[in-house]
Amino acid sequence: MRFNEWLSRVISAVKNPTSWFFLVIVTTSCTTLPLFSPSVRYESKPIVIQTLPFFSQKKVAPAPMPSWRGDWAFRRWRLEEMNAAFFEVKPDLLIAQEVMQRAESLYDADQAILSASSLSGYIWQVAPIEKDPITQEEESAALAFSYPFQPLQPEKAPLVWKWGETYVAAFSLEFQQEPIAVFSWFQEQATWVQNPYAHFLPLIQDFLRNNHIHSARILIAGVFAQAAHDAAYQDFLLALQLHDSAEGFCEEESQCYTHTPANKLYATVFGDLVPQRGVRILIPTTALVSSSKRNFTQSGAPRSYNQRYGFLETCSTLYTGWVTEIHLPSL
């Protein structure tokens, strides 16, 4: 059944208080529905959410390959490939990690290059993470958005929390006259002695309280190191009433790998590591999901870089992206 048909039936049942009361979870190839009751209302406008780690190029290329650190010619080629994909997706929200800009340069800047093309007209909020003393580049987490999203507090800079090698950037927006919280999460490597979820959970909860944001208006997206079945990760989801937007859309697990040696750039950096799905979008458990899939999987021929960096073709990013379309419940 098509999503629009499902939604039409849901709305019609909800508007009629004497109609059947139902509680159902449905998973199909195109739609995953949460638990329903006649009291639930959904926003009419769907939201297309894209998350993508841009790849900072700070990871050392394996010897004897020359370093790509600070190589903006190579980065611009990758951004051209990303531009083509953004034209196709046109997300309402882009939750990005590893966004780079060379110090005091408007030309060597991811935001400027994308804003001049596929993301023209988008509003950006940027949260600086760290500066590379060698290349004088600044790495940031970023949120790019278009109407109907608006900045909630444009005078306030986004918050950044760090713990070891993990960081979370916190943004606040306005959607349908209600505040919404968006968190950009970046953790590439899991450690057995650290539980990032226990550390960041109270910070996220304080942010929600301080900004008067409802639990059904939370989005967290980015790179997660722990497996989906990890107990601490599951406790984190439960505490925030979130779930993975990919649930019900990955019957063929191999079609959902975001970390995979099939991507030659990934294989060059990590070799033949076991594939996994580490790029995720977490949404409220009450949200309707009409589609959820990986993207930025197309390979291109990087011109002169095929000899310099040892691959004939590669994806534009180290990990693939993830895109989902949802309806949030009305408040």
What pLDDT is attached to residue 1? Answer: 45
Same domain, 309 and 215: yes
Tell me the two tokens of residue 114: 């994308």
**Which residues are CB-contacts of 43 (< 8 A; sequence separation ≥ 6)?**
176, 327, 328, 329, 330
Same domain, 68 and 20: no
Q: Is the pTM of this model over 0.85?
A: yes
Per-residue model confidence as pLDDT tens digits over 146-199: 999 999 988 899 999 999 889 999 999 999 999 999 999 999 877 655 789 999
CB 320 within 8 A of CB 262: no
CA dihedral 101, 102, 107, 112 (to 10 degrees): 10
From the list 43, 11, 6, 13, the residue with the least C-alpha distance to 27 is: 6
Same domain, 32 and 87: no
Same domain, 292 and 318: yes
Per-residue model confidence as pLDDT tens digits over 225-261: 988 999 999 999 999 999 999 999 998 888 899 999 9
Domain of residue 166, CATH code: 3.60.10.10
What pLDDT is attached to residue 86? Answer: 97
Which residue type is seen at 163?
A: W
User: Peptide bond preceding 66: is omega within 30 degrees of 0, i.e. cis?
Assistant: no
Residue appearing with tokens 């490939």: 81
CA angle 120, 217, 255 (to 5 degrees): 70
Same domain, 28 and 69: no
**Which residues are CB-contacts of 63 (< 8 A; sequence separation ≥ 6)?**
none
**How many other C-beta atoms are found inside a 10 Å radius of the C-beta of residue 122?**
21
Question: Structurally, how many domains does the chain consist of?
Answer: 2
Same domain, 28 and 122: no
From the list 259, 264, 268, the residue with the least C-alpha distance to 319 is: 259
Domain that holds residue 1: 1-40
From the list 190, 220, 203, 125, the residue with the least C-alpha distance to 162 is: 203
Per-residue model confidence as pLDDT tens digits over 90-147: 999 999 999 999 988 888 999 999 999 999 999 999 999 999 999 999 999 999 999 9
Same domain, 104 and 12: no
Same domain, 31 and 62: no
H/E element, 55: none
